[in-house]
């Protein structure tokens, strides 16, 4: 069974639009819809915002369902000048940008291997193979998560310097990848850019473009599940 996780209502609604024979339930964390996409059994759940909510929801579902695949879908803040609003990042690796043990001589950045989690390569390749089906640009690269909406340029520069090649930031992906990895469940993270951290009006961009980002990421997940159903 495939679990698909989205943090906020707009992201969840865009995803659930693809579900057939939906059965709605409630969890302690938010809404859940169980059904099928291309005859694949799926559970779509709203996690709520932030790492704790994402980790708790992921664990809750793993403990209650026979989960083979976890997909995290939604929006992210872009950190690359090569990205535009609506572009999609298929994440290859993810970590926490707000996890800092440098006071105890642990590294801060990608070198802290225990807290870098790798998405399933097969899922990445299948998602990337659908590039021609969507109007949006689709790239693959790393993501970092933290319990902040990054809008301050000084904060942005610190993160960018520590995490070479970082394409985007969010607030849930690393927690979902972390829990999935502990349970040895393959995962993918598909995020569409809703705002660009390097712009001064970043918070207002998010409010304007979240619907577009939600729709784009959900559409790619739909294509990915079609591929999984026909492999």
Question: Which residues are tagged catalytic?
Answer: 11, 195
**Measured distance CA(100)–CA(104) in Å, rounded:** 9
Tokens, residue 117: 């989690």
**Measured distance CA(141)–CA(14) in Å, rounded:** 23
**In a 3-state reduction of DSSP, which class is residue 142?**
strand
| Cβ neighbours, 10 Å, residue 148 | 14
**Measured distance CA(114)–CA(116) in Å, rounded:** 6
* 202: enclosing H helix or E strand: helix 202-229
Distances in whole angstroms, Cα of residue 136 to Cα of each of 114, 130, 139, 214, 217: 33, 11, 10, 12, 10
């Amino acid at each position: 069974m495939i679990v698909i996780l989205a943090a906020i209502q707009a992201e969840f609604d865009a995803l659930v639009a693809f579900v057939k024979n939906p059965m709605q339930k409630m969890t302690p964390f938010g809404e859940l819809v169980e059904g099928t996409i291309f005859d694949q059994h799926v559970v779509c759940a709203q996690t709520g915002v932030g790492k704790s909510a994402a980790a708790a929801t992921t664990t809750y579902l793993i403990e209650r369902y026979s989960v083979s695949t976890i997909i995290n879908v939604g929006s992210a803040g872009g950190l690359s000048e090569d990205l535009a609003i609506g572009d999609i990042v298929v994440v290859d690796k993810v970590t926490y940008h707000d996890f800092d043990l440098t006071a105890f001589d642990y590294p801060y950045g990608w070198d802290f291997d225990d807290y870098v989690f790798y998405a399933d390569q097969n899922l990445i390749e299948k998602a990337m193979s659908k590039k021609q089906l969507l109007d949006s640009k689709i790239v693959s690269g790393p993501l970092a998560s933290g319990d902040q909406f990054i809008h301050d340029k000084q904060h942005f520069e610190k993160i960018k310097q520590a995490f070479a090649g970082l394409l985007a930031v969010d607030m849930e992906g690393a927690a979902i990848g972390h829990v999935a990895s502990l349970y040895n469940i393959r995962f993918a993270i598909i995020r569409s850019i809703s705002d660009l951290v390097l712009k001064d009006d970043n918070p207002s961009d998010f409010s304007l473009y979240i619907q577009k980002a939600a729709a784009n990421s959900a559409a790619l997940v739909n294509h990915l599940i079609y591929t999984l159903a026909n492999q």
